[in-house]
């Protein structure tokens, strides 16, 4: 599921092989799996103009990224009367929003997608001391 905030991003970035921050330019929803709970699959593209690499290298050939998250499922009951399955409030990746993407061995699969605002994005870059020369390479 989409995580939120710079604290979550700063927690996941050091654990990742590749991490970058940028605005999603296109979201293409795929089919959901038939598992319980189901997993929703997405193909994401990021705006390459302001993409900033935070860890590892992001190459020009890395265009489309796969991302999946739990759809809806069994949630704990909020009281003794209601029990069972209800729709989860799941945030989906949205074009035009800024995210930190964390990847591991598979450079096409986003393991963690973390929503941040512009101020958090700038603070993450500042904290990690990312210089312009470490951004997108060919």
Nearest in space to 101 (alpha carbons), one of 27, 26, 3: 3
% helix, strand, coil for the chain, step of 5: 20, 40, 45
Compute the distance between CA of residue 93 and CA of residue 4 in angstroms, rounded to an integer. 12
- Please give the mean pLDDT across all residues of the chain: 82
* Whole-number percent of the chain with pLDDT over 90: 54
Give me the DSSP letters along 20-59: EEEEEEEEEE-PPPSSSS-EEEEEEEE-GGG-EEEES--B
Q: How confident is the model at residue 55 (pLDDT cuts 50, 70, 90)?
A: very high
The domains located in the chain, with CATH, are 3-134 (2.40.50)
Q: Where are the alpha helices (DSSP H) in the chain?
A: 6-12, 118-127
Compute the distance between CA of residue 9 and CA of residue 20 in angstroms, rounded to an integer. 10
Instruction: Output the six-digit token pair for 14.
Output: 């050091």
Compute the distance between CA of residue 10 and CA of residue 126 in angstroms, rounded to an integer. 12
> pLDDT for 79-105, tens place per residue?
544 444 444 467 889 999 999 999 998
What pTM value is reported for the model? Answer: 0.78
């Amino acid at each position: 599921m989409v995580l939120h905030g710079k604290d979550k991003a700063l927690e996941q970035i050091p654990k990742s092989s590749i991490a970058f921050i940028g605005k999603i330019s296109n979201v293409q929803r795929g089919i959901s799996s038939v598992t319980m709970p189901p997993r929703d699959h997405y193909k994401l593209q990021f705006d390459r103009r302001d993409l900033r690499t935070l860890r590892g290298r992001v190459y020009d050939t890395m265009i489309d990224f796969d991302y999946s998250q739990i759809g809806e499922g069994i949630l704990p009951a909020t009281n003794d009367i209601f029990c069972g399955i209800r729709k989860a409030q799941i945030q989906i990746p949205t074009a035009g929003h800024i995210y930190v993407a964390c990847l591991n061995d598979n450079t096409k699969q986003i393991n963690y997608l973390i929503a941040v605002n512009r101020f958090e994005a700038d603070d993450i870059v500042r904290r990690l001391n990312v210089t312009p020369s470490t951004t997108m390479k060919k």
